[in-house]
Amino acid sequence: MLSKISNILFTNQNTGQTIIKNTVWLGVSQIASRLIRAVIVIYAARVLGAYDYGIFAYALGITGLLSIFFSDIGVNRILIKQISCSPSERNHYIATIFTIKLCLLSFTALVTAIIAPYFSKLPEANVLLPILAVLLLSDGIRDFGYAIIRAVEKMQWEAIINLGTNLATIVIAWVALTREPTPTALATAYVIASLIGTGAILIGLRKTLGKITQYFKKALIKPVLVEAWPFAITNLLWSIMMYTDILMLGWLNTANEVGFYSAAQRPIQLLFAIPAIIAASAFPALSRFAQQDHEKFKQIFEQTLALALLAGLPLMAGGIVLGPILIPLVYGSNYLPTILPFQILASSLIVTFPIMVVYHAILANNLQKQFIIQMASGAILNILLNSWLIPQWGAAGAAAATVISQFIAYGWIYIVVQKIFNFNILQHIYRILLATIVMTIAIELSKLAGFNIYSIIITSVVVYGLSLIVLKEPLVGRIRALWQNSTI
């Protein structure tokens, strides 16, 4: 048994097994780390209260938006793609793209620290922005290191560093908030922990990154930027859909509403790690076969899409049905206004989970520029709906605006992608849908029977898993075959 586990988790045997191995390690890294951060968020929300936590969330939202505007133009994913497709050019791409990334990060950090305070509508958030600018710079460098690790499909090292960084975050944040329960203390704790993680990855990649001056290739700058600009625009439009809700809540409503909305958003963002892991694990293979074997690409794409829905559909149903129980349990009775925004945001999982896989398939085929109109439509619609709904409905209005714009934009993208790749996802999901319905019925029956929330969650997981087995879901069979043979 130990040899099977070792073969599955530590060696790259074939495409399918490597994807599973990468998924497991990224899962360990991202899920565990986000759970740790969720603990920090819950603790901070309780200690700071809705107003002060809203201030922190607002400042973090500004930083995140600026990061995507100026520094996250897709060069990390381009690095993964180019190393997967052209391993002989690995050192040149690493050196050149790292130089580009460092310039972009430095510029964005300066904008965040110096210019962003002039546009903030919550004065209390301004003092946090220079601190969070350091966080932006540190996180950006560490993410580039993760891109190198993912490109060579050694995700176990990312898992170790990421988990260690977040363990440091929870310890430092707990100490900081215990001594001084303020947004500034929380922001400072985030920065210190981030610098620890970035230092670790720089040490681990010191030989690779130490060759930057030797392998920097000026001729690669233009091709990289040409390939990146459609991604940059798409990412910008996506960030508008993801971050303008918090910013517009701060402009059009109160810090309390920002706090309620951010509390609803955090568990959903935690769940986003699942499709992100699945898509990132498959991305190197998608990039290879997009150029070499369309049928193999299509097969991997369909199965990865089905895997995302395998996780997304039950989480959507569970979030909607259990939201009124989960929110007071997690945040306390002071956060009851968070329930409705949480339920609304949970409904989006049916489109946000598969769209991450679709997006990586688009990038693997270098088709980013074909989807700018769809993303622009979603971003504009999101702004208009936020302007209309936030003044009257606050956090719930922001959630509704985001979900409506996501359904329209992502649905449009999905239709276009289906025509391009000619894939068939329906054959993969009807069993998943039936299992989700059975699980939802089991949850309602458990509630009627008076089960506590922990028993309900365990029951729902067991019922969902058994339903998939009874319905003979092919993905379950493939996972079983992987375990038996250490290959798929």
Confidence of residue 65 (pLDDT cuts 50, 70, 90): confident
Confidence of residue 186 (pLDDT cuts 50, 70, 90): very high
- Rounded-to-integer distance, Cα 78 and Cα 83, Å: 8
- Rounded-to-integer distance, Cα 375 and Cα 358, Å: 13
- Rounded-to-integer distance, Cα 318 and Cα 342, Å: 12
What residues have CB less than 8 Å from 105, skipping those under 6 apart?
71, 136, 137, 140, 141
Three-state DSSP state, 15: helix
Q: Where are the domains of the chain?
A: 2-423
Tokens read off for 199: 């230092």
Q: Which of 206-210, 249-253, 404-408 has the highest mean pLDDT?
A: 404-408
Tokens read off for 67: 């990061």
| Residue 120 CA: distances (Å) to CA of 116, 123, 206 | 7, 7, 38
- Rounded-to-integer distance, Cα 165 and Cα 284, Å: 25
- Rounded-to-integer distance, Cα 264 and Cα 260, Å: 6
pLDDT of 9 higher than 70: no
pTM: 0.71
Confidence of residue 13 (pLDDT cuts 50, 70, 90): low
- Rounded-to-integer distance, Cα 220 and Cα 91, Å: 12
- How large is the average pLDDT for residues 382-405? 93
Confidence of residue 456 (pLDDT cuts 50, 70, 90): very high
Burial (0-12, 13-18, 19+ Cβ within 10 Å), 425: middle
Of 19 and 256, the structure prediction assigns the larger pLDDT to: 256
Residue 2's pLDDT is 53
Of 380 and 155, the structure prediction assigns the larger pLDDT to: 380
pLDDT of 32 higher than 90: no
- How large is the average pLDDT for residues 57-63? 85
Residue 482's pLDDT is 47
Of 320, 444, 342, 325, the C-alpha closest to 399 is 342
Of 136 and 16, the structure prediction assigns the larger pLDDT to: 136
Residue 206's pLDDT is 80
Residue 488's pLDDT is 39
Residue 17's pLDDT is 57
Of 6, 74, 389, the C-alpha closest to 227 is 74
- pLDDT tens-place string over residues 419-431: 888 777 766 688 8
Contact 348, 313 (CB under 8 A): no
- How large is the average pLDDT for residues 148-165? 76
Percentage of the chain exceeding pLDDT 90 = 26
- How large is the average pLDDT for residues 236-256? 78
pLDDT of 16 higher than 60: no
Of 27, 33, 90, the C-alpha closest to 307 is 27
Tokens read off for 273: 């790690």
**E strands in 359-453:** none
Query: Which region among 48-57, 106-115, 291-300 has the lowest average model confidence (pLDDT)?
Result: 291-300
Gyration radius of the chain's alpha carbons: 22
Tokens read off for 53: 């936590």
Contact 165, 196 (CB under 8 A): yes
Contact 140, 132 (CB under 8 A): no
Residue 473 is given by DSSP the state -
Q: What is the mean pLDDT of the chain?
A: 82
Long-range CB contacts (< 8 A, 24+ apart) of 483-488?
483/4, 483/8, 486/4, 486/7, 486/8, 486/13, 486/17, 487/13, 487/14, 487/16, 487/17, 488/14, 488/16, 488/17, 488/20
Burial call 80-92: b when 16+ CB within 10 Å, e when fewer: bbbbbeeeeebbb
Residue 194's pLDDT is 92
- pLDDT tens-place string over residues 277-289: 788 777 777 877 8
Confidence of residue 414 (pLDDT cuts 50, 70, 90): confident
Residue 72 is given by DSSP the state -
Confidence of residue 159 (pLDDT cuts 50, 70, 90): confident
